[in-house]
Structures are given as C-alpha cells and as structure tokens.
Amino acid sequence: MLLYLRLLRPHQWVKNLLLFVPLFFSGHISLDSFLLVTWGMLCFCIASSLGYIVNDWIDKKRDISHPEKKMRPFAQGTVSFKEGSIIWGGLFFLLLFIILFFNFPASFIFYILLYIILSISYSFYFRNIVLLDIFIVSFGYVLRVLAGGAIAGVQVSKWLFMSIFFLSMVVSIAKRKSEILLLKENALYHRKNLVKYNPEDLSKMLWVMASISIAVYVLYCIEKKNDFIYSVIPATYGIIRFCILAEQGRAADPVRVFFKDLNLMIASLLFLGFLTVKMYIL
C-alpha cells in the first residue's frame, strides 16, 4: 500500500492549496464555501495523481539516471503496469463520482478536464518542446487558481491572475535550472530537451520573471487599498530566497524545498499571517 501511495505522489498535493487562493483573497470565507473548495481540492489531488502515474510510467527508464526520481515505484520495478493501470482507472472513476455527486459548476469541470488533458499531453509531447514545456507547467498552476475561483463563485482579479502566472513561471524555470545543475552530464539521459537550455539563459529568465511577479503583486496590493502593500516585504524575500536556492540547484522539487528551507518557510508564514490578520481580524 505504501508503494501505491508513493505512486500518487501525495507530497505534491500541497500545490492544490492554490484552489483556496481566490476564496482567501476574497476576504469572505464561509463554512459552506470552504468545504466546497476542499472537495474541489480533493478532485485536483486525484487529477494530479492521474497525471503523475502516466508521467512516471513513461519516464521509468529515464528516472533511473536521476538521483531522486530513481526511487519512484515504476523506476524501481516495484509496481507493475497492470497495477498502475488499475489504480489509474480506480482514481478516474472516483473523480467522476465526486464531480457528479457534488454537481460542481460547469466552469470547474472544464478547468479540471483541461488540467488532466494538459498533464497527460505534457508527459507524451509538450515536455520535449523547449520553452513551451515551462509554459505548460506554469499554466497548470494557473488552472488550479481559476478552478478555485469557479467553485467558490469568486471572480479572480486580473492582477492576482498575473501574479500567480509569473510566480508559476519562476517555479517552472527554477525546476529546469536545478535539474541541469543536479544531473550535469546525465541531463541528456533523463530529459532530452534539458541540454537545449542554456543555464545562463535560465538564470536571466528566472530573475526577470521573479521581478515581474513582484511588480505585479505590488500593483495588486495598491489596487486593494487596505495596507496589503506591507505583505510585499515577506513576499519579495521569499521569492528572492527561492531564486537563490534555484541557482544552487536546490529547487528541483519546489514542494520539498519549501519544507526543507527554514528561511523560505518563515517568509511564507509571515506573508500568509499578515494577510490573514488584515483581512479577517483587523
């Protein structure tokens, strides 16, 4: 059972907390809306695991050359194709059941189906196209936010949309940069298009996107006109800290680096804590 659970990559489900972003920034959280978004998050956890299973099966031979991914069940040979297929089918029907049972908005269903299609298409095709692979991964984060807004009935601000998009670009670029530094000469064996990226160009892209994401968030805070601007301080620190870790090759897995780096975690908690106090207490 632990092997099957590892196949689903539950630690990556943290990304699906993005569904709560629109509801959180709306400043009005009710129990009903919170529970509904929670069910929506569960749907995205299942959807993301469907993509991970497909990706890990396709990459099982390449993952052997990766110092961390070689421990994945398909790469180790501890889970067979038949077992993986049964798990994939079970999760897919579970997802359909939850969607039909809760009668989610059509827009939410559209976003989650688009996410699944993009996730599987990425594993088969898009990841081999330089630059487009980064945009596809980034768009996956954006879809989570849009889906969260759709299920909560909250209009996603244009500034918030752009903030999430550019921040997602930072995360995606950082992952490529870290993989190249981590794999070195084995990069070609793990993923062919990695060798087509110039590390220096990735560094430039990383800092440009980081700068834009900070600038856009500043504009979003100014638009809100309720002292949100002070949250820019921990946000800026966190983004710069993450970029530095990426330059050191330590951001190949954004979720793991968040829980491993104390400075990044503290900056994130200060950021969320300040916004929570401003919107829901003061």
- What does the pLDDT read at residue 186? 59
Percent of residues, the chain, with pLDDT higher than 70: 95
3-state per-residue secondary structure call for the chain: CHHHHHHCCHHHHHHHHHHHHHHHHHCCCCHHHHHHHHHHHHHHHHHHHHHHHHHHHHCCCHHHHCCCHHHCHHHHCCCCHHHHHHHHHHHHHHHHHHHHHHCCCHHHHHHHHHHHHHHHHHHHCHHHCCCHHHHHHHHHHHHHHHHHHHHHCCCCCHHHHHHHHHHHHHHHHHHHHHHHHHHHHHHHHHCHHHHHCCHHHHHHHHHHHHHHHHHHHHHHHHHHCCCHHHHHHHHHHHHHHHHHHHHCCCCCCHHHHHHHCHHHHHHHHHHHHHHHHHHHCC
**pLDDT above 80 (res 10):** yes
Greater pLDDT, 70 or 155: 155
- What does the pLDDT read at residue 185? 60
- What does the pLDDT read at residue 181? 85
CATH fold group of domain 1-156: Tetracycline Repressor; domain 2 (1.10.357)
> Which residues does 249 contact at the CB level (< 8 Å), separation at least 6?
177, 178, 180, 181, 182
Of these ranges, 66-70, 88-92, 159-163, 183-187, the one predicted with the greatest mean pLDDT is 88-92
- What does the pLDDT read at residue 1? 73
d(CA 18, CA 147): 9
Q: Could you tell me the end-to-end alpha-carbon distance of the chain, in angstroms, rounded to an integer?
A: 46
Percent of residues, the chain, with pLDDT higher than 90: 59
Average pLDDT over residues 109-121: 95
Evaluate whether 54 touches 88 at the Cβ level (below 8 Å): yes
Q: Distance of alpha carbon 279 from its chain centroid, rounded?
A: 25
- What does the pLDDT read at residue 178? 87
Q: For 109-123, 165-179, 187-201, 228-242, which range has the lowest pLDDT when averaged over its residues?
A: 187-201
> Would you state the structure tokens that stand for residue 12, as one six-digit string?
């990556």
**pLDDT above 60 (res 13):** yes
pLDDT, tens digit (0-9, with 9 covering 90-100), for 169-202: 999 999 989 888 877 665 555 566 777 888 899 9
Evaluate whether 33 touches 156 at the Cβ level (below 8 Å): no
Average pLDDT over residues 77-85: 87
The model's confidence at residue 51, banded by pLDDT at 50, 70 and 90, is very high
Greater pLDDT, 61 or 118: 118
Greater pLDDT, 74 or 212: 212
- What does the pLDDT read at residue 49? 95
- What does the pLDDT read at residue 188? 53
Tell me the residue type at 230: Y
Evaluate whether 151 touches 105 at the Cβ level (below 8 Å): yes
**pLDDT above 60 (res 26):** yes
Greater pLDDT, 54 or 282: 54
273-278 long-range contacts, Cβ below 8 Å, gap at least 24?
274/230, 274/231, 274/234, 275/24, 275/25, 275/228, 275/231, 278/226, 278/227, 278/228, 278/231
What residue spans define the domains of the chain?
Answer: 1-156, 157-282
Comparing C-alpha atoms, which of 220, 263, 229 is closest to residue 243? 263
